[in-house]
């Protein structure tokens, strides 16, 4: 699955996303992954993820899986160590071998390869890289060539190793780039994963098989509505989960009531404090600028890593 | 000659559907005998991606000679071209008026898509 060429700084990686997903041995028993996600956007995932990583006193990996708009690097300000292109294999047709049978077209669920009694037309932007057309072609006319869909960059910021996924502009397939980010975690590491907002495919690709899922929400009707969706996703994926309520003081008590009623642990609360937003807007870290909040993140990280909440690492 | 037009309803006075791939129906008009029939596009309308491509494939299977449409995107246009289906753009409001304009030579054949494609 992995082909490496070129110098050590820039390597080309060819991933076969769907087969890679089926075969992957996701974070092994010795890796500890805490995923930070939220149904609603703008609740504080990045604030929580970056500060949790920063407050750690030992080496920790921070994965920015919000590949449509990664921004953890703005806060960590690390040194770029490595950049890897993520490629998707897309079909190329040798028309001299093609007999126009249309088998590839009938197989492709995504209409990325289309034959109307002719040599097939290929639409790389619709291709999910499954390789099915290559296998089914009776004349061996189809081969695969790489299409760049994203970049994975590794930064070092003190003890934080930041691995950032970035989707190429114009590409809509976030999950393969997210999986490429996750594939770069060496075994045995402690990992904080900053997930994209929502509950759709990119989020599932990010939080699947996390040891603990920390759902960040705010005590508003919007926060509650989207928290319920995120909880439903976590239950469907069987990922151990708890809630962090941010901006406590705005809105009402319905998020607290919901969590209590459903038996969902509230792992931490951060008050509504304008200074936190001001800090964020300058690209600074809360625990550096407002040291009184350091203890919240320190305690949360320790509790998550030691299982103090009764939320144990997934097995 | 068989002509396809995307429509929102099922007769000659139907408004043209401004969408091609996600039109409700196609009205297939046969200039021989001046008869028409309706092809339901519901399944394609609801597909997650590639609606224009599938609709164009369908028209190729129907052995359509030309398409009169309000909009046509680049992926659909590629398939229509490969199938040898001529594309005419129109801003007429009904099937009947669009056919009339076509018969009177008021529509010119398109050599490209007239809207941008969707990312998926």
pLDDT digits (tens, 9 = 90+) for B2-23: 999 999 999 999 999 999 999 9
Nearest to A172 among B54, B61, B119 (CB): B119
- Pairwise CA distance, residues B102 & B28, whole Å: 14
- What pLDDT does residue A310 have? 64
Per CB-CB distance under 8 Å, the chain A contacts of B61 are 116
Tokens of B89: 């753009």
Confidence at A5, pLDDT banded by 50, 70, 90: very low
- Pairwise CA distance, residues A253 & A16, whole Å: 46
Mutation for A interface: B44, B50, B83, most A CBs within 10 A: B50
Confidence at A30, pLDDT banded by 50, 70, 90: confident
Per CB-CB distance under 8 Å, the chain A contacts of B117 are 125
Task: Provide the strand spans (E) within chain A.
Answer: 10-14, 32-37, 60-64, 79-93, 113-114, 121-122, 142-157, 160-167, 190-194, 212-217, 241-248, 266-271
**A167 and A67 in contact (C-beta within 8 Å)?**
yes
- What pLDDT does residue B48 have? 83
**A177 and A65 in contact (C-beta within 8 Å)?**
no
Element (H, E) at A202: helix A201-207
Per CB-CB distance under 8 Å, the chain A contacts of B82 are 116, 118, 121
Percent of chain A with pLDDT over 70: 89
Query: Dihedral (C-alpha) A15, A17, A23, A25: value to the nearest 10 degrees?
Result: 80
Examine the pLDDT at B97 and tell me if it is beyond 90.
Answer: yes
Element (H, E) at A306: helix A294-306
- Model ipTM? 0.84
| Mean pLDDT rounded to a whole number for chain A | 89
Confidence at A235, pLDDT banded by 50, 70, 90: very high
Per CB-CB distance under 8 Å, the chain A contacts of B83 are 116, 118
3-state secondary structure (DSSP) of residue A18: helix
Alpha helix segments (H runs only) across A77-173:
103-107, 132-136
- What pLDDT does residue A7 have? 32
- Pairwise CA distance, residues A29 & A38, whole Å: 25
Tokens of A95: 């028309």
Question: Which range is least confidently modeled, A117-121, A248-252, A308-312?
Answer: A308-312
Our CA angle for A275, A277, A279, nearest 5°, is: 65
Closest listed residue to residue A32, CA positions, set A51, A2, A52? A52
Contact A126 B61 (CB under 8 A): no
The set of residues, in sequence order, having a beta carbon less than 8 Å from that of A273 and lying 6+ positions away, is: A290
pLDDT digits (tens, 9 = 90+) for A83-97: 999 999 999 999 999
- What pLDDT does residue A117 have? 82
Residue of A nearest to B59 (CA): A116
- Pairwise CA distance, residues B113 & B91, whole Å: 15
Contact B75 A123 (CB under 8 A): yes
Tokens 């992926």: give the residue: B75
Q: Output A314 or B44, whichever has higher pLDDT.
A: B44
- Give the gap in angstroms from C-alpha A260 to the nearest C-alpha of chain B: 38
- Pairwise CA distance, residues A139 & A100, whole Å: 10
């Amino acid at each position: 699955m992995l082909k490496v060429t070129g110098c050590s700084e820039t390597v080309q990686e060819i991933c076969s996303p769907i087969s890679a997903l089926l075969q992957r041995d996701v974070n092994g028993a010795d890796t500890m992954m805490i995923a930070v996600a939220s149904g609603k956007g703008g609740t504080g995932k990045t604030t929580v993820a970056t500060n949790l990583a920063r407050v750690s006193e030992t080496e920790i990996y921070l994965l920015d899986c919000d590949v449509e708009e990664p921004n953890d690097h703005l806060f960590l300000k690390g040194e770029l160590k490595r950049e890897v292109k993520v490629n998707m294999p897309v079909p190329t047709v040798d028309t001299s071998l093609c007999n126009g049978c249309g088998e590839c077209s009938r197989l492709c669920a995504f209409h990325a390869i289309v034959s109307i009694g002719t040599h097939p037309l290929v639409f790389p932007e619709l291709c999910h890289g499954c390789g099915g057309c290559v296998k089914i072609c009776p004349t061996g006319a189809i081969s695969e060539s790489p299409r760049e869909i994203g970049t994975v960059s590794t930064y070092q910021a003190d003890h934080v190793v930041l691995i950032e996924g970035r989707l190429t502009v114009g590409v809509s397939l976030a999950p393969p780039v997210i999986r490429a980010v996750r594939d770069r975690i060496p075994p045995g590491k402690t990992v904080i994963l900053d997930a994209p907002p929502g509950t759709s495919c990119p989020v599932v690709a990010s939080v699947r098989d996390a040891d603990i899922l920390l759902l960040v929400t705010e005590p508003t009707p919007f926060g509650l509505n989207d928290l319920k969706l995120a909880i439903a996703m976590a239950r469907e994926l069987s990922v151990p989960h708890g809630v962090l309520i941010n901006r406590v003081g705005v809105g009402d008590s319905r998020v607290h009531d919901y969590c209590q009623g459903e038996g969902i642990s509230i792992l931490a609360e951060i008050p509504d404090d304008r200074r936190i937003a001001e800090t964020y807007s300058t690209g600074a870290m809360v625990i550096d600028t407002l040291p009184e909040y350091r203890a919240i993140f320190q305690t949360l990280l320790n509790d998550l890593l030691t299982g103090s909440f009764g939320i144990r690492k997934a097995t | 000659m068989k002509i396809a037009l995307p429509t929102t309803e099922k007769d000659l006075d139907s408004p043209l559907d401004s969408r091609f791939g996600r039109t409700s129906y196609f009205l297939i008009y046969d200039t021989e005998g001046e008869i028409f029939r309706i092809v339901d596009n519901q399944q394609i309308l609801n597909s997650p991606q590639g609606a224009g491509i599938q609709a164009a494939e369908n028209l190729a299977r129907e052995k359509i000679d030309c398409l009169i449409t309000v909009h046509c995107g680049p992926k659909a246009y590629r398939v229509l071209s490969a199938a040898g289906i001529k594309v005419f753009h129109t801003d007429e409001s009904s099937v009947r008026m669009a056919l009339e304009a076509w018969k009177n030579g008021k529509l010119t054949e398109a050599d490209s898509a007239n809207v941008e494609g969707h990312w998926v």
